[in-house]
């Protein structure tokens, strides 16, 4: 398991400990113990790193595309780890769309074309499960209305979701709106009422997340809420039903 260097280091460390127990080097015992302890820690650390490195089972996404007629989400999965991996299940959002049990050797790839009635501008969460229980995620969205990218000063809706955070004895509910584009966002209203918001920085995919800050609005399960995101090029309007989180 270890290289020759670490085997030699481990042997020398064990010999040193045995000599201490047997009374050889009594006068230098404290110094030797300190050196031995450090050596053991170093060997153990490399052992942990080696174990983690060889037990990785990562799967990476590439070539994610949306096709029409019929509609499907297409992507490639590559085994970039150091052990053979089995893809046991694939989900899009919360729907199980395939259980392929594909055995994927190290460095090998497999292409999937999943029939799915996707909608322009909406984000989709792809989850790939390995037989070891690991889950690999990818979030993607086709541009709204088929346009390649929003023009300067424009803003398009990517996704909407409800989220919650427990703070002390309270549960604060957030409405999180993901948008794409470089427009300046002014404010967000809910049912005509201005709500405090927090805006994230751009993600690597060019998206930003607008969240209603704290418990700025009291949501009621089953009620519809009319959101308006105002920006320098216009506004985005959407109606969402709060189903609880």
Whether residue 210 sits in one domain with residue 125:
no
Whether residue 153 sits in one domain with residue 233:
yes
pLDDT band at 3 (very low <50, low <70, confident <90, very high): very low
99 pLDDT more than 90: yes
pLDDT given at position 15: 52
pLDDT given at position 245: 74
25 pLDDT more than 50: no
How far is residue 135's CA from residue 88's CA, in Å, rounded to a whole number?
10
Whether residue 119 sits in one domain with residue 50:
no
pLDDT given at position 129: 92
Whether residue 77 sits in one domain with residue 132:
yes
Whether residue 227 sits in one domain with residue 157:
yes
CA 69 to chain CA mean position, Å? 30
The pLDDT tens digits for 198-226 are: 888 777 777 888 888 755 567 888 888 99
pLDDT given at position 55: 43
pLDDT given at position 1: 40
The pLDDT tens digits for 32-51 are: 445 555 555 555 545 444 44
pLDDT given at position 154: 79
13 pLDDT more than 60: no
Whether residue 236 sits in one domain with residue 150:
yes
Above pLDDT 90, what percent of the chain? 15
What is the domain-level CATH number for residue 94? 2.60.40.1150
Whether residue 152 sits in one domain with residue 236:
yes
Whether residue 69 sits in one domain with residue 37:
no
Question: Which helix (DSSP H) or strand (DSSP E) does residue 136 occupy?
Answer: strand 135-140
156 pLDDT more than 70: yes
Whether residue 152 sits in one domain with residue 128:
no
CB 181 within 8 A of CB 155: yes
- Domain membership of residue 190 as a residue range: 146-241
What is the domain-level CATH number for residue 168? 2.60.40.10
pLDDT given at position 81: 87
> Looking at the DSSP assignment, which residues form a beta bridge with residue 104?
85
pLDDT given at position 100: 94
Whether residue 63 sits in one domain with residue 38:
no
168 pLDDT more than 80: no
pLDDT given at position 31: 53
pLDDT given at position 213: 72
- Non-local CB neighbours of 49 within 8 Å, separated by 6+ positions: none
Q: How many domains does the chain have?
A: 3
For the whole model, what pTM was predicted?
Answer: 0.43
Mean pLDDT to the nearest integer, 17-36: 49
Q: Last residue of some domain: 118, 142, 166? A: 142
How far is residue 135's CA from residue 126's CA, in Å, rounded to a whole number?
10
Which pair of structure tokens corresponds to residue 70?
């019929």
String of DSSP letters for 152-171: TT--EEEEEEEEEEEETTEE
pLDDT given at position 39: 54
Q: Last residue of some domain: 77, 112, 142? A: 142
Whether residue 97 sits in one domain with residue 31:
no
Q: Last residue of some domain: 103, 123, 142? A: 142
pLDDT given at position 18: 46
- Non-local CB neighbours of 174 within 8 Å, separated by 6+ positions: 162, 163, 164, 165, 211, 212, 213
- Non-local CB neighbours of 160 within 8 Å, separated by 6+ positions: 175, 176, 177, 178, 227, 238, 240
Whether residue 166 sits in one domain with residue 128:
no
User: Tokens 């030699």 sit at which residue?
Assistant: 8
How far is residue 203's CA from residue 139's CA, in Å, rounded to a whole number?
12
pLDDT band at 150 (very low <50, low <70, confident <90, very high): low
């Amino acid at each position: 398991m270890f290289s020759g260097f670490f085997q030699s280091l481990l042997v020398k460390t064990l010999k040193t400990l045995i000599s201490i127990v047997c009374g050889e080097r009594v006068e230098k015992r404290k110094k030797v113990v300190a050196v031995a302890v450090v050596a053991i820690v170093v060997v153990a650390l490399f052992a942990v790193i080696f174990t983690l490195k060889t037990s990785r089972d990562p799967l990476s996404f590439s070539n994610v595309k949306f096709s029409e007629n019929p509609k499907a989400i297409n992507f490639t999965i590559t085994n970039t780890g150091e052990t053979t991996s089995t893809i046991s299940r694939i989900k899009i959002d919360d729907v199980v769309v395939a259980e392929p049990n594909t055995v994927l050797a190290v460095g090998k790839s497999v292409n999937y074309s999943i029939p799915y009635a996707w909608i322009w501008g909406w984000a989709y969460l792809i989850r790939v499960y390995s037989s070891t229980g690991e889950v690999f995620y990818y979030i993607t969205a086709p541009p709204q209305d088929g346009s390649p990218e929003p023009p300067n000063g424009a803003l398009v809706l990517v996704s909407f979701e409800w989220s919650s955070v427990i703070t002390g004895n309270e549960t604060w509910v957030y409405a999180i709106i993901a948008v794409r584009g470089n427009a300046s966002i002014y404010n967000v209203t809910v049912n005509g009422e201005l709500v405090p918001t927090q805006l994230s920085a751009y993600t690597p995919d060019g998206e930003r997340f607008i969240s209603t800050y704290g418990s700025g609005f009291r949501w009621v399960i089953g009620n519809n809420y009319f959101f308006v995101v105002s920006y320098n090029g216009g506004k985005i309007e959407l109606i969402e039903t709060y189903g609880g989180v």
